[in-house]
Amino acid sequence: MIPVAYSLRNLFTRKLTTTLTVIGIGLVVFVFAAEMMLSSGLKKTLVATGSDDNVVVIRKASQTELTSIVQRDQADVIKAEPEIAKASDGSPLITSEIYVLINLGKRVGNGSGNVVVRGVSPQSMELRPQVKLVAGRMWQPGLSEIIAGKSVADRFKGCGVGETVRFGGRDWTVVGIFDAGATAFNSELWGDIDQMMAAFDRPVYSSLTFRIKDPGLFEAMRKRLESDPRLPIELKREKVYYAEQSRAMSSFIGLMGTVISIVFSLGAIIGAMITMYAAVANRTKEIGTLRSLGFSRFGIMRAFLLESVLISLIGGILGLVAANFLGLVQVSTTNWDTFSELAFSFSITPQIIISSLIFAVVMGLVGGFLPAVRASRLKIVESLRAV
């Protein structure tokens, strides 16, 4: 077999061409990885938002808390259900919340965005242990005070500690900031539900959330409650609820990413083909010489394929390194399903790294295949005669 060094060193003989091809492949892998990182970042944020033992209750067919209405009497019925776990003080660990969208100006630029205001009860904090107060304090009951999720505090005017936001006809003072990690809650403002209901003049809830004693009990409970004529509601596992919240966005990003990756990869494959065909053409005499020395057709083909794969592997690694820096970027956009602002970041996983490298190698194989075959099929005598 022709030594690997042959393929490797040939990469350095025509530096400009090799560099251009490597950059081309790098670009494609960068876009490919970026798209996957975006999808994974979005999923991570939304999925992380849910807990395994929590269940969300919303109005039947409403799809999101935004359009859901749960009446007080319906909530009272549900509160009494036996599957609900007990809070630290012995009462059922269930919370009623209201969910409203308001429009706030961004700190950077002139734009504005829709921010979620969630009216919560004390149980809300216990139900969501991932939410931690990192600055300031909790609101005091009876006052127009709220706490802000870290993303909102950073990006929207008036949402830092000590600042005020106006909605519902009142000025609300932000007294604390909470960090809920990479979850949707970080894009929300939280306050006392009683204050909120009064300010917005909404005597109904948007949703209920409770902790179920045992996830295995969920199905039976769901069937029972959903068939109860007094309760026009739906039960969803919290993780499932949040995963569905991003359906439109996830599918769009996924679709866009796939289409763009296909187009880009075609371009890169064509680039690799051009480069490898030229390599074969320029080294015709060399190939003839190698064949005359006794190396087989297959050996020649393997050597050229290897060269192509090496180029794309180098490009792939470069593209991945560049994509890695995207991890520092925070993306925020309006979630089409919930209409509210959602902040998430590019998240790189080992799986993405492996997929990207495989993608690069495949491009190298596809692009280099035909030229390598041509190299292997050259007739020795003619090759040696080439100039």
Which residue ranges make up the site for other proteins (CB under 8 A)? 14, 16-17, 20-21, 23-24, 27-28, 31, 59-63, 66-67, 69, 100-103, 111-114, 167-169, 200-201, 203, 232, 252-253, 256, 260, 263-264, 266-268, 270-271, 273-275, 277-278, 281-282, 331-334, 336, 339, 341, 387
Compare residues 67 and 173 and give the one whose CB is closer to other proteins: 67
Q: What is the DSSP string of 256-281?
A: HHHHHHHHHHHHHHHHHHHHHHHHHH
**Beta carbon of residue 228, minimum distance to other proteins (angstroms, whole number):** 15
Compare residues 158 and 271 and give the one whose CB is closer to other proteins: 271
- Tallying the residues shown for the chain, one arrives at 387
**Beta carbon of residue 43, minimum distance to other proteins (angstroms, whole number):** 16
What tokens does 180 get?
Answer: 């809920």
Under 8 Å between Cβ of 240 and 50: yes
**Beta carbon of residue 23, minimum distance to other proteins (angstroms, whole number):** 6
Compare residues 38 and 84 and give the one whose CB is closer to other proteins: 38
Compare residues 60 and 137 and give the one whose CB is closer to other proteins: 60
Q: CA-to-CA distance for 336 and 325, rounded, in angstroms?
A: 27
Compare residues 132 and 285 and give the one whose CB is closer to other proteins: 285
**Beta carbon of residue 259, minimum distance to other proteins (angstroms, whole number):** 9
Degrees (nearest 5) of the Cα angle 166, 172, 173?
A: 125
Q: CA-to-CA distance for 47 and 65, rounded, in angstroms?
A: 16
Q: 200 forms bridges with which residues in the sheet?
A: none
Under 8 Å between Cβ of 246 and 335: yes
**Beta carbon of residue 59, minimum distance to other proteins (angstroms, whole number):** 6
Q: CA-to-CA distance for 265 and 310, rounded, in angstroms?
A: 16
Q: 205 forms bridges with which residues in the sheet?
A: 70
Q: 212 forms bridges with which residues in the sheet?
A: 84
Compare residues 66 and 127 and give the one whose CB is closer to other proteins: 66
**Beta carbon of residue 101, minimum distance to other proteins (angstroms, whole number):** 5
Degrees (nearest 5) of the Cα angle 284, 290, 291?
A: 90
Compare residues 51 and 62 and give the one whose CB is closer to other proteins: 62
Compare residues 97 and 341 and give the one whose CB is closer to other proteins: 341
Please report the sign of the dihedral spanned by the C-alpha atoms of residue 10, residue 11, residue 16, residue 20: positive
**Beta carbon of residue 87, minimum distance to other proteins (angstroms, whole number):** 31
**Beta carbon of residue 121, minimum distance to other proteins (angstroms, whole number):** 22
The conformation of residue 218, written as its DSSP 8-state character, comes to: H
Selection from 248, 259, 247, 261 nearest residue 323 by Cα: 261
